[in-house]
Amino acid sequence: MSKDILPSNAGGEAIDARPPQFLTAQQVAMIDEALNSLGEYGELRLVVEKGRLRFVVTHKSFDANKWMPGTIMGKSR
């Protein structure tokens, strides 16, 4: 038996959920490129506004125990 889960507001009442929007091929390619650029410890956040992808935010992290001179500059942009 499955149960649909709807988003709720702070009071616990269900709010209207928008139907899922599909990403365009160009947006999927952008997300894939961003993921490939992050490396082992990076993070990717998708910012959705009004049911549409608005921003792709990347955050690179580096393991301090594996750091070698030149590796941070060499991996950025």
Distance between CA atoms of residues 27 and 37, nearest Å: 15
The model's pLDDT over 11-55, given as tens digits with 9 standing for 90+, comes to 655 555 555 557 888 999 999 999 998 888 889 999 998 888 999
What is the pTM for the complete model shown? 0.58
Q: For the chain, how far is it from start to end, CA to CA, in angstroms?
A: 48
Distances (CA, A) of 2 to 5, 8, 14, 15, 56: 9, 18, 17, 19, 32
Residue 60: per-residue pLDDT: 87
Residue 77: per-residue pLDDT: 44
Q: Look at 70 and 58; give whichever has higher pLDDT.
A: 58
Distance of CA 67 to the CA centre of its chain: 25
Q: What is the pLDDT confidence band of residue 9, given thresholds at 50, 70 and 90?
A: low
